[in-house]
Structure 1
Amino acid sequence: MDRSTPSISAASTADDAVIGDREFCTLVQRRGETLLELSSGLAAMRAGEALLTRPLVGRLLLEAGQMETLLDEYGAHQNHCWSRFRALVASLKNFARIGEVLAHMQRRLPSYRLLPVAGDFPTATDERLRRLTEVVAAVAAALVEEALAVGIELPTIAPPPVCNDDAQPAGRLARDRGDRISSDTATTVPRLATEFLNLAVDGDLLRAAAQVAPEDHAACFPDPVSEERLRQLTFRFHNLQSLYDTHVAGTSSESADGDLPILRGHASVIYHLLEIATDLAHYHERHANPRTADAVLRERPVVDTDATMATLFGYAMAFSSDYLAGGQRLCQGILRRYAEPGRLDCPVPSYRGFHVRPSNLVARIVAYYGSSVQMRLDDRLFDAASPFELFRANETINARKRRWLASEIARVHPDCAEFCAPQAVTAAVLAIVHRLADEGKIMLYRQPLEFSDQLGRRQGSVLENSVAEIAQLQATGQLEIRTDLTVTFIGDRRVLADLDLLARCGYGEDAFGNNVVLPKALSYLRR
């Protein structure tokens, strides 16, 4: 047997040993003295007296975090006696962390330079901080009550006055350091703006949740709202903020472009609001949701569910949505200023040209970036941001197809200019259509083809009859004329890159008009 085996066995035995409630109670009382003192002080205050200042929040987070670690080391969440105590400690830490974010935003709001929104965000933030203080005091009171219930002797702990002194002088230090030199700002700024636009698309859940009626808040879990989705979005906004601070903050580009600090402020405030939303969603899923929550707090609630839902939906996600919309418009303006002109030649969509689906996808890409892009066909320019403009291009496309078709008919039927008897015209038209289909010059969508009752009855040559009949079959969706027509898009290279990717994917459809899966880089078009 290996020499390490006895020590491993001894460690396992020690881990499996059961500690007595009295012994554990003494341990918690000793290690949690400061936390219980703070909780007693908060519980003793009358409504409206307490204020979640940053010094107080910092002490609560430190002490609650250490206590939570201790409780988890001993498996308190699986113990009947201690599970509620552990849940209350976790809740106190959770709401204190929300208070920390609110207090941070309250102080930093003037520096964010946020664009105006419909609601009064500063006043709403003050109100939420006041209400959250009441929530923290209620959880602290419940923790003190539970401490007594598990046998902790509180009389020896005199509730001290809660330190609410957060007095700080107004103003900031002088900005007397020179600008940083950054060689990649010209590429980083468009990247930041583009990523913000991507996040604006992924933030659809914020816009949707902000419109939900209060009585339907609980029904939003787990779809579209969940801790997991909010946490992922929070992480991405944090990355965006970090990218800005690494490459743009303190540079001459930031000093010269007043929109850049505004972009940073929007990314920051959305990040902090999502932090709050994530913690509230966590509390609801872990402690209040009938389907997922632990019964220790759900059966004897301490925090009013309607109040937490109002903060989650009516404050955190609603203002996130508003600032996301403002930031989206800001980023589109930034991209227009940082545009790099370019040209891109693309094939015309093989299935019916620029009909509804290709035109809408092209226009959505252009609108997504907010840039000006034109499509050139022959000597005509079309606004690529307008599907109806692109529809009109089909008139020119179809005219060119008909001219090309006439030359192809002359190639496969040299005598097409002749006038023949009706039966001979019918046979010639049928032979021409099937010859062109066999050569791949036209794509058949229906077989057998349903020719019109005018076949063989029209006046004119074989060429004129063939062009007219094929045009009729094309108009009824039975075939499409295949050509190598191209158009030229003119605009910002970033937009052109996505248009090129779309064109390589057949503009979202195959040769028969069926949907195809778009690549991940164009995922914003799937929403």
Structure 2
Amino acid sequence: MSQAASTQSLSQIISEEDFIPILREASVDFISLLGHLSREGHGVNKLFVFTLLKESEKLENLLDDYGARSNQRFLYFAEVVASVRNFSLAGFQILHVVERYSDYLSATSDAIRREFEKDATKAMAYFMKVLSRFHDSLVEEAKDLGMEVAFESIPQEEWKFKPTPKLPYTIGGVKIDNPEERIISIAQSYRRVFKLFRQGGLQRRIKASDLSEIIPSRINENMMADFESQLHNIQSEYDTHIKGSMAEGKNPWTLTMRGLTAIPMHLFESLSWLIHFYERHENKTRGGEAGARIARLVDNPELLKVITGFGLHHCARYLAEGNEVAERILSMYVTPITYQLPLPQPQGFHARPATYVSLIVQEHGTDTFLIHEDKRFSCRSVLDLLEAGGMLADSGATRAVFEGDKRCLDDLKILSENNYCEDRDIPQELNYLRILRNM
């Protein structure tokens, strides 16, 4: 006999009728908590959602231990419990950001914060509406199973918001070795995340009328989890090496970048759970009848709005701000040098070579300037480069002075050695230009 067959033969079988009282007893707190959402004037905060999350995890584990999702009679009940857990996980991450916003970005614009909190409130209202529907459907399903539903009242005071007081900040600046190198590394890592986000076309609003049009073709659970993981690594590196240090005290932009890491990190985790829910529990391809029933409770267009119009939209916004801060930080720690480079031939700096120069500077994220007659032109700006090109042409110059970080200037040197790609292909060393020019 094989090991698998031997293990299966040792598993005890419980009858469906014998399982019902076990499920009833295990469901009391969970269903009572969900029922709280149907009460008029109910309050919902992070504590409530966290408690609901823990109760749903506990009940889901019991259902999985008994193999409920492999039993046709209990499958739908188990799928709804799992769906409650997914929405609780997503909601917890959003509420965590709302509660900690001042810690993350104390100096941020009030208008940006108000917009985020307004959109977060709408998203949470939708979550609570869906969770309330899950409750009603579970109660009906329990009755169909022949399970008497018990409801224990929970006092409203349990969930009233109680602000947590903070201890005074008394940690002095800790001295660390090579803080500048560490800060540069963190800023460069942040810019890589933003670059990947842009390469996926996620910085623009995704237009779709149904989630099936974008999941999994444009976005999926693994993609969101990967973004969350990369940002978590950046946050961990910061907290290990920079937090509370003298370097952090000297450069407040580092703390801003830390906040602009945490917010999208939590939003990506929220998105990964919402997309997991769709892929695992609602998707028409694999959900079967249970999935179809759940889909009717969730309202696909509303879930689409939360995923694209709230989650991805605000991830894009905070990542773009974080990228600007990372570039500002990188420029602070650069020791600028100058290169004299030949001008594009035969027309000088017109639109195409100016665009390639600008893309290289954007790729490196540090301030770079073209200097002519004591005037400095930002190489981030195509318009600045066109203006400089006109002045260079008028003066009859054949070379220009570039000032900036060595890594950026080295790439500009390669570009100039290939005549700014005026009459030849982009060199292999600058292959990233092929991607950037099409974004």
TM-score of the two chains, using structure 1 as the length reference: 0.68
SS at match of 1:120: helix
Q: Which amino acid aligns with 1:323?
A: Y
* Deviates further, 119-128 or 163-172: 163-172
* Deviates further, 141-150 or 162-171: 162-171
Distance 1:508 1:188, change over 3 A: farther
On the 8 A contact 1:51/1:130 being kept in 2, the answer is no
Task: Report the Cα distance in structure 2 between the residues aligned to 1:319 and 1:27, rounded to whole angstroms.
Answer: 43
Structure 1, gaps ≥5 residues long: 401-485
On the 8 A contact 2:210/2:301 being kept in 1, the answer is no
Distance 1:382 1:319, change over 3 A: closer
Structure 2, gaps ≥5 residues long: none
Decide which of 26, 40, 54 is 2:32's aligned counterpart: 40
* Shift, 1:275, TM fit: 1.7
Distance 1:292 1:364, change over 3 A: farther
SS at match of 2:366: coil
SS at match of 1:99: helix
Task: Report the Cα distance in structure 2 between the residues aligned to 1:381 and 1:204, rounded to whole angstroms.
Answer: 29
On the 8 A contact 1:60/1:96 being kept in 2, the answer is yes
Aligned to 1:90: 82
Q: Which amino acid aligns with 1:181?
A: K
On the 8 A contact 1:284/1:293 being kept in 2, the answer is no
Aligned to 1:286: 280
Decide which of 491, 509, 512 is 2:404's aligned counterpart: 491
Aligned to 1:304: 299
Task: Report the Cα distance in structure 2 between the residues aligned to 1:48 and 1:523, rounded to whole angstroms.
Answer: 57
1:233 aligns with 2:227: yes
On the 8 A contact 2:210/2:300 being kept in 1, the answer is no
Task: Report the Cα distance in structure 2 between the residues aligned to 1:207 and 1:319, rounded to whole angstroms.
Answer: 14
Decide which of 99, 114, 119 is 1:107's aligned counterpart: 99
Task: Report the Cα distance in structure 1 between the residues aligned to 2:209 and 2:386, rounded to whole angstroms.
Answer: 41
Aligned to 2:51: 59
On the 8 A contact 2:36/2:42 being kept in 1, the answer is no
Decide which of 194, 198, 215 is 2:192's aligned counterpart: 198
Q: Per-residue CA shift, 1:276-314, capped at 9, x if unaligned?
A: 222222222333343454441324522222322222222
On the 8 A contact 1:105/1:269 being kept in 2, the answer is yes
Q: Which amino acid aligns with 2:58?
A: Q
Task: Report the Cα distance in structure 2 between the residues aligned to 1:69 and 1:238, rounded to whole angstroms.
Answer: 27
On the 8 A contact 1:354/1:391 being kept in 2, the answer is yes
* Deviates further, 323-332 or 122-131: 122-131
On the 8 A contact 2:34/2:52 being kept in 1, the answer is no
Aligned to 1:76: 68
Distance 1:45 1:312, change over 3 A: closer
Task: Report the Cα distance in structure 2 between the residues aligned to 1:193 and 1:220, rounded to whole angstroms.
Answer: 31
Decide which of 316, 321, 328 is 1:321's aligned counterpart: 316
Q: CA RMSD in A?
A: 3.9
1:365 aligns with 2:357: no
* Shift, 1:491, TM fit: 1.0
Distance 1:159 1:261, change over 3 A: same
Distance 1:393 1:227, change over 3 A: farther
Aligned to 1:14: 10
Task: Report the Cα distance in structure 2 between the residues aligned to 1:515 and 1:205, rounded to whole angstroms.
Answer: 19
Aligned to 2:19: 24
Q: Per-residue CA shift, 1:47-97, capped at 9, x if unaligned?
A: 553333333323322232233233334443333212211211111101111
SS at match of 1:325: helix
SS at match of 2:284: coil
Aligned to 1:178: 172
Among the aligned pairs, what percent are the same residue?
23
Task: Report the Cα distance in structure 2 between the residues aligned to 1:370 and 1:201, rounded to whole angstroms.
Answer: 11
Q: Which amino acid aligns with 2:152?
A: P
Task: Report the Cα distance in structure 2 between the residues aligned to 1:55 and 1:503, rounded to whole angstroms.
Answer: 59
Aligned to 1:257: 251
Q: Which amino acid aligns with 1:153?
A: E
On the 8 A contact 1:179/1:252 being kept in 2, the answer is yes
1:333 aligns with 2:246: no
On the 8 A contact 1:57/1:96 being kept in 2, the answer is yes
Q: Per-residue CA shift, 1:125-169, capped at 9, x if unaligned?
A: 234334322322222332233233334332xx3423166335434
Alignment of 1:79-478 (within 5 A): 79-113=71-105, 115-116=108-109, 120-154=115-149, 157-161=150-154, 164-169=158-163, 171-204=165-198, 208=202, 211-212=205-206, 215=209, 218-291=212-285, 293-300=287-294, 301-343=296-338, 359-374=354-369, 384-385=379-380, 386=382, 388=386
* Shift, 1:268, TM fit: 0.9
On the 8 A contact 1:240/1:267 being kept in 2, the answer is yes
On the 8 A contact 1:42/1:50 being kept in 2, the answer is no
* Shift, 1:382, TM fit: 7.6
Task: Report the Cα distance in structure 1 between the residues aligned to 2:434 and 2:71, rounded to whole angstroms.
Answer: 47
Distance 1:382 1:53, change over 3 A: closer
SS at match of 1:490: strand
Q: Which amino acid aligns with 1:324?
A: L
Distance 1:302 1:394, change over 3 A: same
Task: Report the Cα distance in structure 1 between the residues aligned to 2:221 and 2:332, rounded to whole angstroms.
Answer: 37
Task: Report the Cα distance in structure 1 between the residues aligned to 2:178 and 2:189, rounded to whole angstroms.
Answer: 16
Task: Report the Cα distance in structure 1 between the residues aligned to 2:413 and 2:70, rounded to whole angstroms.
Answer: 57
* Shift, 1:518, TM fit: 5.6
On the 8 A contact 2:338/2:404 being kept in 1, the answer is yes
* Shift, 1:269, TM fit: 1.0
Q: Number of aligned residue pairs: give it.
A: 429
Task: Report the Cα distance in structure 2 between the residues aligned to 1:381 and 1:146, rounded to whole angstroms.
Answer: 72
Distance 1:507 1:160, change over 3 A: farther
* Shift, 1:124, TM fit: 2.7
Task: Report the Cα distance in structure 1 between the residues aligned to 2:182 and 2:192, rounded to whole angstroms.
Answer: 15
Task: Report the Cα distance in structure 2 between the residues aligned to 1:381 and 1:210, rounded to whole angstroms.
Answer: 32
On the 8 A contact 1:92/1:136 being kept in 2, the answer is yes
Aligned to 1:513: 424
In our comparison, the structure showing a higher alpha carbon Rg is: 1
Task: Report the Cα distance in structure 1 between the residues aligned to 2:318 and 2:343, rounded to whole angstroms.
Answer: 39
Task: Report the Cα distance in structure 1 between the residues aligned to 2:313 and 2:403, rounded to whole angstroms.
Answer: 38
Task: Report the Cα distance in structure 1 between the residues aligned to 2:208 and 2:97, rounded to whole angstroms.
Answer: 25
Q: Per-residue CA shift, 1:348-369, capped at 9, x if unaligned?
A: 8999998876653332121344
TM-score of the two chains, using structure 2 as the length reference: 0.81
On the 8 A contact 1:41/1:162 being kept in 2, the answer is no
Aligned to 2:42: 50
